[in-house]
Chain A
Amino acid sequence: MSNTGEAETPEPGISRRPVEIATALLLIGLAGVVLYDSHGRGAGWDGGPQNGFFPARVGWIFLAASLFILWQSFRRPDGIFVTYEQLRQVVRVLGPLVLFVALIQPLGLYVASAIFIVAFMAVVGTSRWWSIGLTALIVPVVCFWIFELQFRVPLPKGPLEAMLGY
């Protein structure tokens, strides 16, 4: 993380300035939404602050700070935000993670975990297939034992658990 911003090696990647600008614009948009909502509900002082008073004040400061950041991002020397190689690594982790969260609803958390572990270890690691399979089996079962059986914390369950009677 330390010197990625100012990396001088000509490794190809996404440069920093567009990301800075996009982030600042996003923050400005957020500030706008906050101000719209707060002033809509009343941001004045009616025998004490109304419920939009603080969000509105914070919103204005936020807007000012974001505008300043936007201005700053044009002035700063550009650098590399993330190299394509790094981005590829991040996507290799983020991809299975998004898949995992998407699968929780239809399949339940435990089955989704098993699929996630398989996907993650296959994409990321150099593990042997049997260790992948074992991990994908043991981790969800241990989670199930701790959360569902011992502590009785109900987690999302899918068709498999229903078939087994839970």
Chain B
Amino acid sequence: MDDLASLIAGFQVALSWHNIGFMAVGVILGIIVGVLPGLGGPNGVAILLPLTFGMDPTSAIILLSSIYWGALFGGAITSILFNIPGEAWSVATTFDGYPMAVQGKAAEALTAAFTASFIGALSGVVLITFVAPLVAQFALRFGPAEFFAVFLLTFCSFIGMGRENRAKIIASLCIGFLLAAVGLDSISGDLRMTFGSTELMRGFDFLIVVIGLFGVSEILLTVEEGLVFKGKQAKIDLMVVLRTWAGLPRYWATLLRSAIVGMWMGVTPGGAIAASFMGYGLAKRFSKRGKNFGKGEIEGVLAPETAAHAAGTSALLPMLALGIPGSATAAVLLGGLLVWGLQPGPMLFVEQKDFVWGLIASMYLGNLAGLVIVLATVPLFAAIMRIPFSFVAPVILIVCAIGAYTISNSIFDIWLMLIFGVVGYVFKKLDYPLAPLILALVLGDRAEDAFRQALLGSGGSLGIFWANGLVATLVVLALLLLCWGPAGDAIAALRGRSRQDPETAEATR
């Protein structure tokens, strides 16, 4: 129990007054950064990095990682209130979070999201604390074939369960894959589908597409019904938090499942994005109330948030232990470590014990501080829904435009956001599902890269996806999950023209 003693020493470092102060400042800054899509986590951390050069490394990393926690919490706020996910991993949160807000349950949704984030993050930290070396070794077993299998599993757990028109699901999925393919192909080094346009060369950034498809289109739909927010007025006070908490133990199975999925995806660098989609997909499949998902089910908020944050936190483990960043924010944090002369990697745990355990202790405390601070803001954010629409809508649209612009400092991207806004409006009215599009856009090119890397290594033989126990298990699990939905449907509805199923399978490959 050498580690436990180190951890306690770590708490002593982290619990000094000025470090707690840094934590609070960091979390608040992080929330601001998380709420404004133009200032994603990486930006916030990168901008504040130079300010920390004067501090001692432990305080500095506490400040920066608190920004990270704050940004993680903050991402859920815009997803729930305005259907605008600021980060890829909060997309799945919008599926049920926004409908809840529309029904006047914004405060419940926010409380659920924050609590779930905390539970997820806490599971991730516990994992880092106790099994770091073991888990780091496991992560090393993931080569390209295994990565591909993880992505396949994510697609399969999410697809094949939609109740929408199957042809439209497939079309939507295809659009996502194709959008993801635009730009430089990292395997061949060639440009694809750019048709000589330098603007298209950048490809389609997820955030621009999602701000347009989800955020702008939602505002257009809202105004159809009259120029007010759809959110019903609800009495908001801090008691909402307690009432929501009282209902949570019922969902222990979902929370547990999502936490496990998240931790696993965080360590095998499948990442928080894949984790959130998989957490949502699995919850929908296994919950008794699965049919209500997408209509404002609290479980649909808990599942992706828990998974995303368990993954986001566990992803710090490979970064510390192996030196590979799990996310863009983690990459900037990594840059920060290097500036202080701390070399992430296997030796960090040996050479910089104080620092590592100080950081781990600050993860516990930072998350707790984060939870307290964000919960205190629930009434504040829920009250935004009461501000007149004619005031809030332009502000949201301006912030969206800033967010789209800052990704690559291009005004073209703002136009693109607008176009996707109109596309999203038309698609929603014509019942094209948008979630498969986003999933394919976010993970499609990574899945393709992994697939092709694997085949380059095997000399073109597909046997590589069957070559060892790990990859074979993942592939079988994926196929099982894929068949689960359609098979269940076929039995239930007895209307199983199996024409669409092979197509769904094809599209995910």
Q: Do chains A and B touch in the complex (CB under 8 A)?
A: yes
Q: Are A86 and B503 in contact (CB under 8 A)?
A: no
Contacts of B133 in A (CB 8 A): none
Q: Name the interface residues of B171-218: CB closer than 8 Å to any CB of A.
A: 171, 174-175, 177-178, 181, 185, 187-188, 190, 192-193, 195, 216
Q: Name the interface residues of B415-456: CB closer than 8 Å to any CB of A.
A: 415, 418, 422, 425-431, 448, 451-452, 455-456
Inter-chain CA distance A55–B194, complex, in Å, is 13
> From A122, which residue of chain B is reached at the shortest CB distance?
B390
How extensive is the interface on chain A, given as a class?
35 or more
Partner of B224, one of A89, A124, A152: A89
Pick out which of these stretches binds chain A: B283-291, B318-326, B397-405.
B397-405
Contact status of A54 and B181, CB under 8 A, knowing A5-B429, A61-B174, A146-B36 = yes
> From A81, which residue of chain B is reached at the shortest CB distance?
B429
Contact of B370 with A by CB under 8 A: no
Contact of B4 with A by CB under 8 A: no
Q: Are A127 and B390 in contact (CB under 8 A)?
A: yes
Partner of A4, one of B174, B227, B429: B429
> From B459, which residue of chain A is reached at the shortest CB distance?
A47
Inter-chain CA distance A50–B192, complex, in Å, is 12
Most B-side CB within 10 Å, residue of A31, A151, A153, A154: A151
Q: Are B190 and A41 in contact (CB under 8 A)?
A: yes
Q: Are A19 and B426 in contact (CB under 8 A)?
A: yes
Contact of B20 with A by CB under 8 A: no
> From A92, which residue of chain B is reached at the shortest CB distance?
B223
Contact status of A124 and B195, CB under 8 A, knowing A51-B185, A68-B167 = no
Binary A-proximity of B159-170 (CB < 8 A = 1, otherwise 0): 000000101101
> From B185, which residue of chain A is reached at the shortest CB distance?
A51
Contacts of B221 in A (CB 8 A): 1
Contact of B21 with A by CB under 8 A: no
Q: Name the interface residues of A39-58: CB closer than 8 Å to any CB of B.
A: 41, 45, 47-52, 54-55, 57-58
Inter-chain CA distance A105–B409, complex, in Å, is 12
Pick out which of these stretches binds chain A: B38-46, B269-277, B307-315, B338-346.
B38-46
Contact status of A69 and B405, CB under 8 A, knowing A94-B220, A127-B388 = no
Contacts of A82 in B (CB 8 A): 224, 429
Binary B-proximity of A107-133 (CB < 8 A = 1, otherwise 0): 001000100110011001111000100
Q: Name the interface residues of A15-37: CB closer than 8 Å to any CB of B.
A: 16, 19-20, 23, 27, 30-31, 33-34, 37
* B215, chain A: closest CB distance, angstroms: 12
Inter-chain CA distance A17–B192, complex, in Å, is 34
Q: Are B224 and A62 in contact (CB under 8 A)?
A: no
Q: Are B448 and A54 in contact (CB under 8 A)?
A: yes
* B155, chain A: closest CB distance, angstroms: 13
Most A-side CB within 10 Å, residue of B43, B193, B409, B456: B193
* B185, chain A: closest CB distance, angstroms: 5
Contact of A64 with B by CB under 8 A: yes
> From A131, which residue of chain B is reached at the shortest CB distance?
B391
Contact status of A101 and B226, CB under 8 A, knowing A90-B220, A120-B394, A127-B390 = no
Contact of B225 with A by CB under 8 A: yes
Contact of B56 with A by CB under 8 A: no
Inter-chain CA distance A99–B38, complex, in Å, is 21
Q: Are B178 and A153 in contact (CB under 8 A)?
A: no
Partner of B391, one of A45, A81, A121, A154: A121
Contacts of B431 in A (CB 8 A): 5
* A39, chain B: closest CB distance, angstroms: 12
> From B193, which residue of chain A is reached at the shortest CB distance?
A37
Contact of A143 with B by CB under 8 A: yes
Partner of B181, one of A55, A81, A90: A55
Q: Are A19 and B430 in contact (CB under 8 A)?
A: yes
Contact of B143 with A by CB under 8 A: no
Q: Which 6 A-B pairs have the closest CB atoms?
A: A125-B390, A62-B174, A48-B455, A51-B188, A86-B224, A65-B171
Can you pick out 8 interface pairs between chain A and chain B where the beta carbons lie within 8 Å of each other?
A: A19-B426, A38-B193, A55-B177, A104-B405, A126-B390, A127-B388, A147-B38, A156-B405
Known: A69-B167, A147-B39; 17 extra A-B contacts, CB below 8 A, are A1-B429, A5-B431, A16-B430, A19-B430, A31-B174, A37-B193, A49-B455, A51-B188, A58-B178, A62-B171, A72-B165, A89-B223, A101-B411, A109-B402, A120-B394, A127-B390, A151-B44
